[in-house]
Amino acid sequence: MNDNKKVVDERTNQTSDQSQAENSANTPAMIEIKNLHKYFGELEVLKGINMTVEEGEVVCMIGSSGSGKSTLLRCINYLEKKNQGDIYIEGKKVVETPKAINAIRQKVGMVFQRFHLFPHKTAIENVMEGPVTVKGMEKKEAKELALKLLEKVGLSDKEEEYPAMLSGGQQQRVAIARALAMEPKVMLFDEPTSALDPELVGEVLGVMKDLARDGMTMIIVTHEMGFAREVGDKIIYLNEGVIEEVGTPEKLFNNPENPRLQAFLGEIDF
Amino acid sequence: MELFSEMMQNLQEFFEVVFIYIPRFIPGVIMTLQLSALSIVIGTVFGLTATLFKMTKIKPLEKLIDVYISIVRGTPLLLQLIFIFYALPEIGITFSPFISAAIGLAFHSGAYISEIFRGAIESIDAGQREAAISLGMNKWQAMKRITLPQAFKRSVPSLGNQFIIAIKDSSLASAITITETLMLTRQFVAATFNPWPIFFVAGLYYMLITTILSKALLRLEKRLKVYER
In terms of Cβ atoms closer than 10 Å to its own Cβ (0-12, 13-18, 19+), residue A186 is buried
Mean pLDDT of chain A: 90
Residues of chain A found within 8 Å of residue B130, distances taken between Cβ atoms: 79, 112, 116
Q: pTM of the prediction? A: 0.82
Of B131, B135, B228, the CB nearest to A134: B135
Whole-number pLDDT of residue A202 = 95
Alpha-carbon distances, residue B82 vs B79, B167, B175 (angstroms): 5, 18, 8
Q: What is the mean pLDDT of residues B192-219?
A: 95
Question: At CA A257, angle to CA A259 and CA A228, rounded to 5?
Answer: 100
Question: Nearest chain A Cα to B148, which residue?
Answer: A120
CB–CB contact B145 A119 (8 Å):
no
A15, pLDDT greater than 50: no
Residues on chain A touching B150 (C-beta within 8 angstroms) = 118-120
CB of A219 within 8 A of CB of A228?
Answer: no
Query: What are residue A252's DSSP bridge partners?
Result: none
**Residue A16: its pLDDT value, please?**
43
pLDDT of residue A22: 47
Note whether A194 contacts B: Cβ–Cβ < 8 A.
no
- What pLDDT was estimated at residue B15? 95
pLDDT over 90 for what percent of chain B? 92
Model pLDDT, residue A107: 94
Residue A226 pLDDT more than 90?
yes
Question: CA of A4, closest CA in chain B: separation in Å?
Answer: 37
In chain A the beta strands, taken as DSSP E runs, fall at 31-40, 43-53, 58-62, 84-89, 92-93, 108-111, 186-190, 217-221, 234-239, 242-247
With CB atoms and an 8 Å threshold, state whether A129 touches B134.
no
Average pLDDT, chain B: 94
Question: For the residues A109-120, what does the mean pLDDT come to?
Answer: 96
pLDDT tens per residue, range A175-212:
999 999 999 999 999 999 999 999 999 999 999 999 99
Please tell me which residue, A270 or B33, carries the higher pLDDT value: B33
Residue partners of A171: CB distance under 8 A and separation at least 6: A115, A117, A163
A1 pLDDT higher than 50: no
The angle that helices B2-24 and B195-224 make with each other, rounded to 10 degrees, is 60
Q: What is the ipTM of this complex?
A: 0.86
Residue of chain B minimizing CA distance to A78: B134
- Residues belonging to chain B with any Cβ–Cβ distance to chain A shorter than 8 Å: 125, 127-128, 130-138, 141, 145-146, 149-150, 153, 226-229
Would you place residue A270 in the very low, low, confident or very high pLDDT band (cuts 50, 70, 90)?
A: low
Euclidean distance between the first and final Cα of chain B, in Å? 61
For residues A128-148, give the mean pLDDT.
Answer: 97
